[in-house]
Amino acid sequence: MMAQMDFEFYRDLLQKNSGIHLTPDKEYLLTTRITPLCKTLGYADLDEYTRHLRSKPEPVSIAAVVDAMTTNETSFFRDGKPFQHLKSDILTRLIEARAETKKLRIWSAACSTGQEAYSIAMTLNEMGDKLAGWSIEILGTDIADHVLQKARSGEYNNFEIQRGLPMPMTVKYFTQKNGQWVIKDELRRRTDFKKFNLLENPARLGVFDIIFCRNVLIYFNQETKLQVLKNIRSVMAADGMLLLGSCENVLSDKSGFRPVENMHGCYMRGA
Ligand SMILES: C[S@@+](CC[C@H](N)C(=O)[O-])C[C@H]1O[C@@H](n2cnc3c(N)ncnc32)[C@H](O)[C@@H]1O
């Protein structure tokens, strides 16, 4: 069992550097995720590693702990409905609203291994001629390096592909290479992946028309959630749309968002 003092050390480190909120019942998670990291780095056990980290909390070591403590569960077209809303409502409205500039910027915040960003890219591609000649940018960001590496590679195994991707879409948008499915260049060209911590000010990322920020707020406490939502709002176009995960919400109108009627999980800027 981990000493209370050590648990508190990791809890505070995660809170400060990622916003991930570790409740006391998550001690097992900490042990099971940090122990392999100690082994990889050549430490005898968790105690020795923790002693080292306490005495030398270097940014690269902190990033490794944060990376190990992230939960990266994701899939193509996760939860289905948000992508239907994207296709039938959100894009239809924004295509009209941006008819002059013909420009759309979409942010998959906390994109994990990239399935969300590529699902957005496929949805846009399915709009066909309606987006012909448009400048489209899909930015995926995450705090964890190992997921960004995979997202950039655009390579998925059979199991990952079968989770959410219908066969006709697989064949249309992926090619096979060494037993992996690789995203085609036409979609890859529209996507970019960058490291970004949601606790930071996102101004340097620019303004977005649509923001997916799904299944990440659940790891934050109320105060962090509110701050992250305010940050997100600051880079969302006045008529833009925010999509959250099915179990998440904007807490209250203090965040500056209001739910969109009949579109569960979709929010626009409030007053
Ligand atoms: C459960 S995944 C969600 C992936 C995807 N959005 C989805 O809904 O399928 C949560 C992701 O949030 C990322 N994350 C956690 N804290 C973060 C932070 N402070 N800034 C950016 N990303 C963070 C994790 O690394 C992880 O990949």
The set of protein residues with a Cβ atom below 6 angstroms from ligand 1 is 18-20, 70-74, 78, 110-112, 116, 142-144, 147, 197-199, 214-216, 219, 245
For the CA of 18, the closest atom of ligand 1 is 19
User: CA-based diameter of the chain, in Å?
Assistant: 62
Kindly state the tokens that stand for 232. 């997100």
Q: What's the CA gap between 236 and 145, in Å, rounded?
A: 25
Amino acid at 266: C
The CA-to-CA distance between both ends of the chain, in Å, stands at 49
Output the CA 195–ligand 1 centroid distance in Å. Answer: 11
Q: Ligand 1, atom 11: nearest CA belongs to which residue? A: 110
> pLDDT 10s per residue in the chain (271 long)?
788 999 999 999 999 999 999 999 999 999 999 999 999 999 999 999 999 999 999 999 999 999 999 999 999 999 999 999 999 999 999 999 999 999 999 999 999 999 999 999 999 999 999 999 999 999 999 999 999 999 999 999 999 999 999 999 999 999 999 999 999 999 999 999 999 999 999 999 999 999 999 999 999 999 999 999 999 999 999 999 999 999 998 887 789 999 999 999 999 998 7
Q: How far is the CA of 113 from the centre of ligand 1 (A)?
A: 9
Q: Whose CA is nearest to atom 24 of ligand 1?
A: 70
Q: Model pTM greater than 0.95?
A: yes
Nearest residue CA, atom 2 of ligand 1? 72
**What ranges in 167-242 are assigned the alpha helix state H?**
167-173, 185-188, 222-234
Closest among 233, 190, 236, 242 to 213, alpha carbons compared: 242
Closest to 204 (Cα-Cα) out of 224, 231, 225: 231
Q: What is the CA(252)–ligand 1 centre distance, in A?
A: 22
pLDDT of residue 54: 95
Tell me, in angstroms, the distance from the centre of ligand 1 to residue 133's CA.
32
The whole-angstrom distance between residue 95's C-alpha and the CA centroid of its chain comes to: 24
In the numeric block, which tokens belong to residue 124?
């846009």
